[in-house]
Structure 1
Amino acid sequence: MIKKLKKYIEYIFFGDDLKSDILFIILILIIYSIVNLIYPPLFSVIVSPSMEHTYFNIKKYSTYNITINNFTEFPYPNGLYIGDIVIILPINTQYLQIGDMILYKGISIYSGEDIFHRIIGYNNTNFIIMGDNNPGPIVFENENDMPPNRIVGTGILRIPFLGYIKILI
């Protein structure tokens, strides 16, 4: 029985016919669905240009005492682009640092969705957050005073372009 199962799995992953390709796609969809039920933000797709570096200007970070040298040490110093998938893991907010990229729960009528931005400072026990391509923190999302309970997790891995599949669907 184990040998048959092993052979079947090898066929799904390494078969070279249409049937194995279809089975592989079905397997991926099943895995994605299960992950989406257990922890939906795990595979978050960037859908706005707020983290892009096409017209990036580091000068706005000087207000928060962040230099170009600091910025190059941050996660994703070259930004994130529409269609990127970011793997999000939950984190205890006490371990977050300036420069970390976080996914937080949007509250405004304009978004209502999770938003992926960078921590740029602290406001007592709350965070100051901003998108790299934004002129400043989004006031109507309270990015200048973000409570820790709105933070969903932090990004640990970027997969470029793969999110376009989800965006198109």
Structure 2
Amino acid sequence: MKEKQETLKDQKTLLGKFWFVVWRDNSFKGWVISMIFLIVIIRGIFFPLLSLATGTSLPLVIVESCSMYHDGNIMSDFESWWTRHEVKYFEKEINENQFLSFPFKNGLNKGDILFVTGTKPENIELGDIIIFDSGGGTPIIHRVIEINLEDGEYFFSTEGDNNNGQLGVEKRIQENQIVGIPRANILPYVGWIKLILFESTRSDSQKGFCSEN
């Protein structure tokens, strides 16, 4: 009984020391341990729970390219932007009034952090922005410009607001490629904290801040 009490006392002492290092130790060692602890908690507990709640494997996504950029970003003048791009959408039979009703009508900027939820294919509408697996590593975040229903299965076609044409991988997106739909731009630009670490490995066309095509 005495040995058991001593063991419990030792465990409490170790736990107390651990919590002190994590939350109250201002040394470099304490800072490193705190960061490791937070990463483990976020990756091992927070994200799995958030994925379960949102119905997607990527509940938080960082916009990594400029393909959805509008000049001025969240302060973009939609009328001016539309004047510069209406020909592209005229060919797709999408008019200005339609686009005004689309989610994120002022586009998205590189570094934005998006809150994402899963969705059923039948709930995706023209103009929605979807995140899909292109088979090339990083999922693509583009706007739906065409929806087709064939033999009970939906196929989607997308294009980036800032792209002059479609990518080959986005002309016929299958249901099982859909990762989710962004619901809110919760932290504009904050994703740059992560992106800046990998900018040197990106191609020249993908580096740096965005400009409108």
Query: Shift of the alpha carbon at 1:93?
Result: 1.2
Query: Shift of the alpha carbon at 1:167?
Result: 1.5
| 2:145 matches 1:135 | no
Deviations 1:10-68 (A, max 9, x none): xx8xxxxx69xx69977764553134455351111011100001276232111221111
Which residue in the other structure is 2:147 paired with?
Answer: 122
Alignment of 1:49-128 (within 5 A): 49-54=66-71, 57-107=85-135, 111-124=136-149, 125-128=154-157
Which is further off, 56-65 or 121-130?
56-65
Alignment of 1:38-57 (within 5 A): 39=51, 40-54=57-71, 57=85
SS of the residue 1:41 aligns to:
coil
Q: Is the 8 A contact 1:123 1:145 kept in 2?
A: no
Query: Shift of the alpha carbon at 1:71?
Result: 0.8
User: How many residues align structurally?
Assistant: 149
Alignment of 1:1-16 (within 5 A): none
Q: Evaluate the alpha carbon distance shift between residue 25 and residue 162 of structure 1 in structure 2; reply closer, same or farther with a 3 A threshold.
A: farther
The gaps in structure 2 that reach 5 residues or longer are 1-22, 52-56, 72-80, 198-213
Q: Which of the residues 109, 126, 148 maps onto 2:175?
A: 148
| Percent of residue pairs identical | 30
SS of the residue 2:100 aligns to:
helix
The gaps in structure 1 that reach 5 residues or longer are 1-11, 13-17
Deviations 1:124-149 (A, max 9, x none): 3311111111112211x1x1111111
Alignment RMSD: 2.7
Which amino acid is the alignment partner of residue 126 of structure 1? F
TM-score, length basis structure 1: 0.75
Q: State the distance in 2 between where 1:137 and 1:35 align.
A: 36
Query: Shift of the alpha carbon at 1:105?
Result: 0.4
Which one has a bigger Cα radius of gyration?
Answer: 2
| 2:42 matches 1:32 | yes
Query: Shift of the alpha carbon at 1:168?
Result: 3.0
Q: State the distance in 2 between where 1:97 and 1:162 align.
A: 28
TM-score, length basis structure 2: 0.61
Q: Evaluate the alpha carbon distance shift between residue 64 and residue 24 of structure 1 in structure 2; reply closer, same or farther with a 3 A threshold.
A: farther
Q: Is the 8 A contact 1:35 1:42 kept in 2?
A: no
